[in-house]
Amino acid sequence: MSERAEIEAFGLQTGTDGGIVRRAIISDVPAIMRLLRQVLSVHNASRPDLFKPEGGKYSEKELETIIADGERPVFVFVDAGGEVLGHCFCIIEDYPETGACYPRKTLYIDDLCVDSGARRRHVGRRLYEHVKEFARAAGAYNITLHAWEGNAGAIAFYRSLGLTVQQYTMEEIVTSNDERVVSNEQRATSNW
């Protein structure tokens, strides 16, 4: 779908700042890789026992494959100067009916990031609103995502969009033979 057709299909217009939300293209890969490093940095700061200080969620080749995959859309916010200031990775998940649950289609947000220099400029809100319209058009029942406990800014942002807690993932660290491991007690007494 062309950028213009996608905008018309989801009723979104370019903002007063000239920015636009569109599907990611291969030439966006370097900017998305930069944003993914910012995400890793935030996660490493709150959970160094799980996240490496350097690296990436995807290689450039993996990211190119994801961008080409129509089932896993990646949207970007691009400012009037053509700079990618945010991204949102999406996965459409189909859940069949079970003895306990109704069938449903869910749009899962695998990763949403706004460049640290562009925060509080409604980039994340614009990305989310675009994704919400995309989810409706795709016939999704709901949108889900995960937010790490130590990422208070992200949690507050998602709540401001109207998202609510669906379920909790609980953990207890049971291995202490690795210096990366931080005990539950240490986390409880720090700024996690």
CB atoms within 10 A of CB 79: 18
- How many domains, in total, are found in the chain? 1
Report the CATH number at residue 59.
3.40.630.30
Query: What would the pLDDT profile of 29-79 be if each residue is shown by its tens digit?
Result: 999 999 999 999 999 999 999 999 999 899 999 999 999 987 799 999 999
Q: Which residue has the higher pLDDT, 24 or 150?
A: 24
Query: What would the pLDDT profile of 125-164 be if each residue is shown by its tens digit?
Result: 999 999 999 999 999 999 999 999 989 999 999 999 999 9
Q: Is 133:12 a contact under the CB 8 Å cutoff? A: yes
- Proportion of the chain above pLDDT 70, given as a percent: 83
Q: Is 62:13 a contact under the CB 8 Å cutoff? A: no
**Residue 114 domain boundaries:** 3-189
What is the reported pTM? Answer: 0.83
